[in-house]
Structures are given as structure tokens and as C-alpha cells.
Amino acid sequence: MRGLRILRVALWAAALTGAAVFGLVQGGVIGPGSERRSLPVAPAVAGIGGPFRLTSHTGRTVTDKDLKGKPSAVFFGFTHCPDVCPTTLSDLTDLMRELGPDADKITPVFISVDPERDTQRVLADYMQAFDPRILGLTGTTAEVDLAVQAYKAYYRKGAASSSGGYTVDHTAIVYLMNKEGQMASSLDSHEPREARLAKLRLLVANHR
Ligand code: NI
């Protein structure tokens, strides 16, 4: 079972890396000549994005349909995360400031993979530290699992520590979704800030 799980994770990682690179090449972020940046259409990455129904940090029901009509930047995580999540959300906050008016053309979304601790109230408190346009989403475990499946994301709750706390291993990329709700590209925390900014600008340019 363990071998199978590792294989599944490895396959998933390979597929997503391939898909993301494909998206970047097609989108013109990677590729010869800067003129490719002005290509009007970035083909979507097949199979990522699908139906879900969650509750926002403000108490609203939000489904995949609500995100359509505008590109979105979707990130999975949990409020007790010591490093990756707060860093990613701070980075998103900075990138949105940098984008200026274009930031309003993207819906940034943070989906909790720790529904046990991340109630709407906990999420509401947590989101106050970041750009107010970032939409925090949580739900029951079943609802969260459906969203995770829709994005072909991954999470796994770790063993409890002596103090009773636990960590959650999770997908750490930011999915850049087009206005039809399909994956167009992704942001990786190891990329230079300028590269991430360029991808967000491209996402907006391709979907105005
Ligand atoms: Ni995290």
C-alpha cells in the first residue's frame, strides 16, 4: 500500500509538473522570443478544475461556478501552517499590490485542507493578515476532499505531536485558473518574484 501511495504521488507530481510546464510553454512565459508573451490564448491544462462547494471565511457558499467569469489563483493550505502557507499568502498579497488595477481581475483563493481546525471563524481571523480580496474557503472534510480532487491536489494529515498539534502535508503550488475554471498555469514559491508577476499579468491579459 505504501509503495502504491508513493507511486501515485510520484505520478501526480510528474503529471502536474508536465502540465504546468506545458501551460507555461503554450502561454508563452517560457519560450523563444518575447513576442510570444502577447499570444492571446493559453490552452488550458486538461483535467484540472472541477465542481466543488465550500463556505467562505465570510460565511458565503462558494462553488466552482462562482469562480468562473474571471481568472483565479487557487492555493491549498491550513491556518496552522508554520511556513509555506503564510509565506505564500504574504507573497500573493505583495503580488496583488504590485499588479495594481489588474489585481481586481483575478480572484485569489485559499482553500483549507484542515477542516477540523479551520472553521469559518478561524479562517476569518487568519485572512485578516492578508489582502482582503483573498477568499478563504473551508467546509466539511467531504467538501474539502471534493475540492482537492477537483484540482488533483494532495494533502495528508500528519501524526499528532506531544502537545496534540499536528501538521498537514499539502500541495504547495498556486493554481492559475482561467475564467472557464480550467488550469492555465501555476506559481511556484521557488520562482523569482518577477516571473510570478509576469504569469499573473499574462493570466489577466489572456482573459480580459
Ligand atoms: Ni502550508
DSSP conformational letter for 105: G
32 alpha carbon – ligand 1 mean position (Å):
34
The pTM score is 0.80
H/E stretch holding 157 = strand 155-157
Does 202 score more than 80 pLDDT? yes
In percent, the amount of the chain with pLDDT more than 90 equals 72
Query: Predicted confidence band at 42 (pLDDT cuts at 50, 70, 90)?
Result: low
Q: What is the mean pLDDT of residues 150-155?
A: 96
Indicate the residue type of 101: P
Q: What whole-number distance in Å separates Cα of residue 192 and Cα of residue 173?
A: 14
Does 37 score more than 90 pLDDT? no
126 alpha carbon – ligand 1 mean position (Å):
13
Counting Cα atoms < 13 Å in the Cβ hemisphere of 53 gives 2
Query: Predicted confidence band at 31 (pLDDT cuts at 50, 70, 90)?
Result: very low
92 alpha carbon – ligand 1 mean position (Å):
14
Q: What is the mean pLDDT of residues 189-199?
A: 94
DSSP conformational letter for 177: E
Contacts for 42 with CB less than 8 Å, ≥ 6 apart: 23, 26, 27, 28, 178, 184, 185, 202, 203, 206
81 alpha carbon – ligand 1 mean position (Å):
4
Report the sign of the C-alpha dihedral through residues 180, 27, 199, 114, in that order: positive
160 alpha carbon – ligand 1 mean position (Å):
16
192 alpha carbon – ligand 1 mean position (Å):
19
40 alpha carbon – ligand 1 mean position (Å):
34
User: CB neighbours (10 Å) of residue 182?
Assistant: 18
Give me the count of residues in the chain.
208
Lookup: cell for 205: 491579459
Rg (CA), the chain: 17
